[in-house]
């Protein structure tokens, strides 16, 4: 039986692991390699690692860092940050990474999706759409460059375009909910799950296993990703890397599929 993927999302800045709130005020939380080792021990389903400075500063991906991450990671690894060409994506896959995530470059040059898919296979192409609610109305716009530039395009319209161009997976990341740990945007997630045929991963706002349960109850088999939930503990946000056990996932998250049958 297909099951939802429970995915830690790690943000890297200046070679350190950080966590943001609404894409601002990054807090240093440790060494990325140590975090990868802990998630290995806890048998995480998958891992997303994003270099949040690479795209914003138009910097080349740090291939040495990526190779180190890939060599340590025992689970499927998705890397994003600074990828602007199909050649870069191919080089990253050759280092042992399973998926390459792109965001700003995909919005600036949509044809890049097809080019990368032709090089590494559609299943390895992930498009990350950072989104924020408009000041007026209910629509969610896609933002790029760490949430500093508004494309003024609907996240649903962009997601459908990216799927058509060859994206093998769409990740939606709520800027409004980032780091708040108060729940996901279930309405948008449900809309996109119905509209898309490729895998969907929902990120932004996860603060409990119950939050993840609600995503699966609303959307079925999707990826459920989080950052703060996996690196912080308690109301004072003490740094502690954690991940649910197989039994916790069965009881708290996978059980949500029962009601959808």
For 5-257, give the CATH class. Answer: alpha beta
Task: Return d(Cα 12, Cα 101) in angstroms, integer.
Answer: 14
Task: Return d(Cα 184, Cα 178) in angstroms, integer.
Answer: 9
Residue 219 pLDDT:
96
Residue 259 pLDDT:
64
Cα separations (Å) of 124 from 97, 120, 141, 167, 179?
Answer: 9, 6, 25, 8, 27
- Which letter, b or e, does each residue of 148-187 get, where b requires 16 or more Cβ atoms within 10 Å of its Cβ? eeebebebbebbbbbbebbbbbbbbbbbebbbebebbbbe
**Whether residue 138 has pLDDT greater than 90:** no
pLDDT in tens, 54-94: 877 778 999 999 999 999 999 999 999 999 999 999 999 99
Q: Which of 25, 31, 45, 130 is flagged as catalytic?
A: 130
Residue 234 binned pLDDT confidence (cut-offs 50, 70, 90): confident
Average pLDDT of the chain to the nearest whole number: 94
Domain layout of the chain by residue ranges = 5-257
Residue 54 pLDDT:
87
Residue 205 pLDDT:
96
**Whether residue 1 has pLDDT greater than 70:** no
Task: Return d(Cα 27, Cα 16) in angstroms, integer.
Answer: 10
Q: Can you read off the two tokens belonging to residue 183?
A: 């729940």
Residue 135 pLDDT:
81
- Catalytic-residue membership of 130: yes
Cβ-count burial of 221 within 10 angstroms (0-12 exposed, 13-18 middle, 19+ buried)?
middle
Separation of first and last alpha carbons in the chain = 12
């Amino acid at each position: 039986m297909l099951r939802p993927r429970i995915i830690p999302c790690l943000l890297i800045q200046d070679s350190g692991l950080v966590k943001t709130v609404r894409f601002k005020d990054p807090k240093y939380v440790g060494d990325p390699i140590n975090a990868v080792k802990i998630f290995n021990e806890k048998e995480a389903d998958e891992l997303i690692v994003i270099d949040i400075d690479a795209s914003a500063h138009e910097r080349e991906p740090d291939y040495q860092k990526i190779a180190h991450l890939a060599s340590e990671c025992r689970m499927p690894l998705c890397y994003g940050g600074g990828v602007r060409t199909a050649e870069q994506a191919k080089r990253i896959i050759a280092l042992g990474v399973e998926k390459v995530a792109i965001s700003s470059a995909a919005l600036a040059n949509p044809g890049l999706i097809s080019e990368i898919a032709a090089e590494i296979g559609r299943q390895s192409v992930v498009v990350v759409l950072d989104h924020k609610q408009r000041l007026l109305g209910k629509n969610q716009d896609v933002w790029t460059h760490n949430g500093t530039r508004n494309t003024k395009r609907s996240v649903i319209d962009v997601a459908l375009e990216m799927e058509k161009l060859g994206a093998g997976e769409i990740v939606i990341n709520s800027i409004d909910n980032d780091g708040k740990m108060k729940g996901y945007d279930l309405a948008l997630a449900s809309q996109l799950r119905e509209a898309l045929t490729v895998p969907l991963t929902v990120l932004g706002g996860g603060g409990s296993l119950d939050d993840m349960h609600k995503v699966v109850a609303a959307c079925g088999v999707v990826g459920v990703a989080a950052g703060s939930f996996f690196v912080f503990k308690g109301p004072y946000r003490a740094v502690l890397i954690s991940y649910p056990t197989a039994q916790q996932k069965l009881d708290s998250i996978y059980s949500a599929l029962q009601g959808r049958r």
